[in-house]
């Protein structure tokens, strides 16, 4: 892992967690990847995240050919990823290493998730993200992935 650089500006350095602390490493990666930017709803009145909906999905993204809601990635077993094993979680990311898996089909069901980037995370990083996501508060929030 290394620092992130955005538009010729290096963010304030956040110390890397101990390599053996999966939850803190996962928290670091989720923060650095700005997962809450899509997976946490925004209160439009105050233009800030709904903290009680942290990573609970339901953020709507309208594109020319499709509309999609972000997924609930909290450990809620009914509406989030609580029923996913670590192996299922890793397999979801790694499946996008095959270009046939993410072929774009205009006008069809698509995603804005940057799978083609995230699929290259190491198994160790994916396991750390999984451990962190399992440690956060589960939020019951059923998301309609592709609303009409």
pLDDT in tens, 97-146: 887 776 666 666 677 888 888 999 999 999 999 999 999 999 999 998 88
Compute the average pLDDT of residues 57-75: 90
| CB neighbour list of residue 38: distance below 8 Å, 6 or more residues apart | 59, 61, 70, 112, 113
Instruction: With beta carbons less than 8 A apart as the criterion, state whether 142 and 79 touch.
Output: yes
pLDDT of 47 higher than 90: no
- Averaged pLDDT of the chain: 86
pLDDT of 8 higher than 60: no
Closest CA to 126 of 26, 17, 35, 54: 26
Tokens of 77: 């077993």
Considering only residues 67 and 133, tell me which one the structure prediction assigns the higher pLDDT: 133
Closest CA to 74 of 135, 4, 126, 148: 135
Read off the pTM.
Answer: 0.84
The pLDDT assigned to 1 comes to: 45
Residue 7's pLDDT band, with cuts at 50, 70 and 90, is very low
Considering only residues 94 and 50, tell me which one the structure prediction assigns the higher pLDDT: 94
């Amino acid at each position: 892992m290394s620092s992130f650089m955005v538009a010729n500006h290096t963010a304030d350095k956040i110390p890397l967690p101990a390599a053996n602390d999966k939850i803190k490493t996962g928290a670091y990666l989720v923060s650095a990847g700005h997962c809450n930017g899509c997976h946490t709803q925004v209160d439009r009145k105050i233009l800030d995240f709904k903290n009680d909906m942290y990573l609970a999905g339901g953020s709507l993204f309208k594109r020319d050919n499709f509309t999609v809601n972000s997924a609930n990635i909290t450990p809620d077993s009914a509406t989030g990823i609580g029923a996913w094993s670590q192996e299922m979680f890793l397999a979801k990311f790694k499946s996008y290493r095959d270009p046939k898996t993410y072929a774009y089909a205009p006008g069809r069901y698509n995603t804005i998730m940057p799978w083609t980037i995230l699929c290259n995370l190491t198994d160790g990083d994916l396991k750390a993200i999984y451990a962190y996501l399992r440690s956060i508060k589960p939020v019951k929030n059923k998301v309609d992935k592709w609303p009409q």
